[in-house]
Amino acid sequence: MQITLDSTVCLKPQQFVEAQEGEVLYTMNQQTGSYLYLNEVATAIWGQLKLPIQVSSLCLNLEREFEVSPTECQTEVLRVLGQLEQMGNLNVQ
């Protein structure tokens, strides 16, 4: 499914194992064995996906937190969400 700013997204209700080291988060999906290494920004995105959120709201939150332009934020958020969806970790509505 195409993810847009109007989409509502959240992590699939799977069991993830998470370990944080400084600003880096390591996650592993216990069902598939897939794992992720998330930098500070991706960790901030991941943390907001535990409950359903509209992509435009997610972007606004991140723009405030990281003082980034709307265009840059939207581009990066949509890229990360696309990767999470391809890995089967994301519900999109």
33-48 in b/e form (b: 16+ CB < 10 A) is eeebebeebbbbbbeb
What is the pLDDT, as a whole number, of residue 73? 96
Is residue 87 scored above 80 in pLDDT?
yes
Nearest to residue 88, comparing CAs of 5, 7, 13, 4? 13
Eight-class DSSP state of 36? E
Whole-model pTM: value is 0.89
Count CA atoms closer than 13 A to 60's CA, side-chain side.
Answer: 7
The amino acid that residue 55 corresponds to is V
Structure tokens given for 5: 């700013």
- Dump pLDDT digits (tens) for 25-80: 999 988 888 889 999 999 999 999 999 999 999 999 999 999 999 999 999 999 99
What is the pLDDT, as a whole number, of residue 23? 87
Domains annotated on the chain, with CATH: 8-86 (1.10.10.1150)
